[in-house]
A and B are shown apart, each in its own frame.
Chain A
Amino acid sequence: MKLTLRIWVLIIFLLLSTIVIINFQALLQKGVEIKDIEQNSSAFTSGLKIGDIITSVNNMPVENIMDYSKAISSLFKDKNESVKVVINTKDEQFVFYSDTIPPIKISELRKTNIRAGLDLQGGARALVKPEEQLTKEQMQDLISISNQRLNVYGISDVSIRQANDLSGNNYMLVEIAGATPKDLENLIARQGKFEAKIGNETVFIGGNNDITYVCRNDANCARVDRCQQVQSGYFCNYHFVIHLSEEAAKRHAKITGKLGKNVSNPGYLDKQIDFYVDDELATSLFISENLKGQETTQIQIQGSGSGVDQKSAISDAENSMKQMQTILITGSLPYKLEIVKLDTISPVLGKRFTYLILLTGLIALIAVSVIVFIRYRNIKASIAILFTSFSEVVILLGIAAFIKWNLDLPSIVGILVMIGTGVDQQIVILDESRSSRTTSMKEKLKGALFIVIAAFITVVASLLPLFWAGAGLLKGFAVTTLIGLTVGVLITRPAFADIIKLIDKSQ
């Protein structure tokens, strides 16, 4: 039996797809992968980065998440001490000191390169609409600032992209694995316009023109303290230091120079410095008398957080502080935004659901093969159909892994449905080849391919609008179906036609 070129093409694609899908690294390597690492943490500055594979911590071997947690918790038993941490990755060694558990999120090594979307792995997704119509360049600006904001805040496992719809609106689609919706609202939808004013005069604003340094992750100049019990729970203050540029410091000198002494509150000036975020007054502070007319470059920013108990009040204050630091560093977003869709998907049911989807795919294949066998009562032809359908799914997944396509629910529906439609075309080919027409086998198969291609064209035409409708949220379905159909028309069905010829010859 001599295999034809088309069958070889199918086999090659099948092999390539398998190579792309399986993460061989994970099979050969033991360890855990860094999913996320907080920037500006000592672990980050030591050189560790997302994607690194940790193999040991302080000479304790790490093969899975359990090992890692055990190793880390044994190092940080005594809380307030600075600990030397030695992390070995696949090819390097990193050493840093830390007095808290390093802000590293880890995961087991992925066994495949197929990317499960948010629907399966959990996370938050926001569709954000600028209040005005933006040009492509403006949108790019917005996306890069938003990216920077999330990075500064400490979220890096994030995907931000532009989405358009049929009416020409543009949106920004933000997907974050493992962020809370509140983070998203505060970091993405908030314009984050920071202004420090004395009376009506602006002293400085957020962003690196006026602010040269923002203290973070350093308890000497940025911390949460002074927690108090109040009626409704607890209340904590935070404060951190920022450095002003020379220009902003001059402005400060000029404005404070004009102020008088505070009569009711001795030691301070008669006007306060007011911090506005998005035109709303956030905090007001008294200005010490001796700062009058001074070119101060160091300013302390204050704020507060609250909660039902002390612990939640502290973490609320910490989050508020982080957000404030973020907008001071990144400055205001150039446009006002509105969150038009906000989803937070819990990772809890994802695993179970993935299992059900795989089960569905398998049972669907079995159901199809039963029907095919009943119809043809021919083992060889039925196996050929099954093999071709199976290869179609494998090649489709291979391409999805290759182009790094996130499989969301619409994409998965597309794949499942393709098991049904792929078989349809094979049935056409098989029936045409077995028809009692007097023409040659070649002619018969040519006829079959006409039907297959005609159906392909109409389905593609009917799917095109989905690329834009619904701000691209349903694009996944169109993408997987189109890849599947194209793989079918170009690779698997021509090969199937040849396989049928071979079976026909051998009988």
Chain B
Amino acid sequence: MEEENKQETIKEKAKTNYKEKFENIYNKNYKILIYIPVILLILTLGYLFYFSSINGDIIKKDITLTGGTSIQVFAKTDINQLKAKLNKNEGQFSIREISDITTGEQVAFIVETAMSPEKIKPILEEYLGYELNNENSSIEFTGASLSGSFYNQLRFAVVLSFILMAISVFIIFRNFAPSVAVVFAAFSDIVMTLAVVNLLGMSMSTAGIVAILMLIGYSVDTDILLTTRVIKRKEGSINNRLYSAFKTGITMTLTSLAVVLVGFIFTSSFSEIFNQIFTILTIGLIFDIINTWTFNASFIKWYVERKEK
């Protein structure tokens, strides 16, 4: 290892210079960094309150959470024409097309409605001119009472999982302030992601809520690494420890992001479940980078420095 270092001394020197400059700026201004996620959190929380005052809930729910029917028909059709036709009927419809990423061809379309399958099927059959059966379509129906209880339970599951995560974090670190920071970052990840999901006009399904749950796990990963490296270890300066944690943490998040993005690109046009989960995870991981390395990193630096004084 040492021989390798010798060979790279010139390179290292340039790096150190750059690093020193960066460190100086960082040491002076790191507390400001804390404000970025805090302001962002206040803004997004405000937006979520505003959103729920208009829509009655903090998210827009799709039929898996409100009850209704989703019919997937394996045929090519002009979506706009179908929309025009369906809008003549009562009730709301959401129509989406499904295409194959490798060929770019439309392979199917999905109609979602609050109606029961018995009502929507004849309307679609009339438009298509043939009977819908197991060979040419898939039908998913969720009763309103079930979807209502699904929603309540999943919401409860998210809260419960958040609490369980928080308890584990406190037990692992047995240290109040850093644990609060970890929990706070996970909370911010969720709030900010929900805000973007709403801004994009996405309707959340059961899968979407599961993705939020996954986000809790993902966001804690890097925070635990950061907190352990900076608080539990004593070697090197705080900045060195921070930097090494950053290098590891960002690689971790980038590999996760790469997998999620690949998943999004290849499967999301095929399945609503995959689409929601990968979209939400992508948004969430990007916020996690911001929250972990502006808020958590700065908070921990501040905490350790104050303790060392």
Contact = CB atoms under 8 A, between A and B. Distances in A.
Question: Are chains A and B native binding partners rather than an unrelated pairing?
Answer: yes
Interface of A: 122, 127, 129, 165-167, 169, 180-181, 338-349, 352-353, 356-357, 359-360, 363-364, 367-368, 371-372, 375, 409-410, 413, 416-417, 419-421, 423-424, 427-428, 431, 435-439, 447, 450-451, 454-455, 457-459, 461-466, 468-471, 473-474, 477
A427 B251 contact: yes
B263 A181 contact: no
A255 B13 CA distance: 108
26 contacts: A127-B146, A167-B149, A338-B143, A340-B146, A342-B139, A346-B136, A348-B74, A349-B107, A349-B138, A353-B270, A360-B263, A364-B262, A413-B263, A413-B274, A413-B277, A417-B281, A424-B221, A427-B248, A431-B251, A439-B235, A454-B168, A454-B172, A461-B165, A464-B161, A474-B207, A477-B210
Contacts of A420: 255-260
Contact of B220 (A375, A447, A450, A459): A459
Nearest to B73: A346
Nearest to B182: A458
Nearest to B103: A352
Q: Looking at A338, A359, A462, which has the most chain B CB atoms within 10 Å of its CB?
A: A462
B20 interface: no
B49 interface: no
A180 B134 contact: yes
Interface in B209-240: 210, 213-214, 216-218, 220-221, 224-225, 228, 232-233, 235-236
Q: Looking at B142, B157, B172, B256, which has the most chain A CB atoms within 10 Å of its CB?
A: B157
B188 to A, nearest CB: 16
B218 A421 contact: yes
B79 interface: no
**Nearest 4 CB-CB pairings of A with B:** A420-B259, A465-B157, A461-B164, A340-B146
Contacts of A341: 140-143, 146
A279 to B, nearest CB: 22
B139 A344 contact: yes
Contacts of A356: 100-102, 266-267, 270
B254 A364 contact: no
B88 interface: no
Contacts of A409: 271, 273-274
Given A341-B142, A462-B161, A349 B224 contact: no
Interface in B52-110: 72, 74, 100-102, 107-108
B30 interface: no
A474 B220 CA distance: 22
B266 A363 contact: yes
Contact of A349 (B150, B207, B254, B270): B270
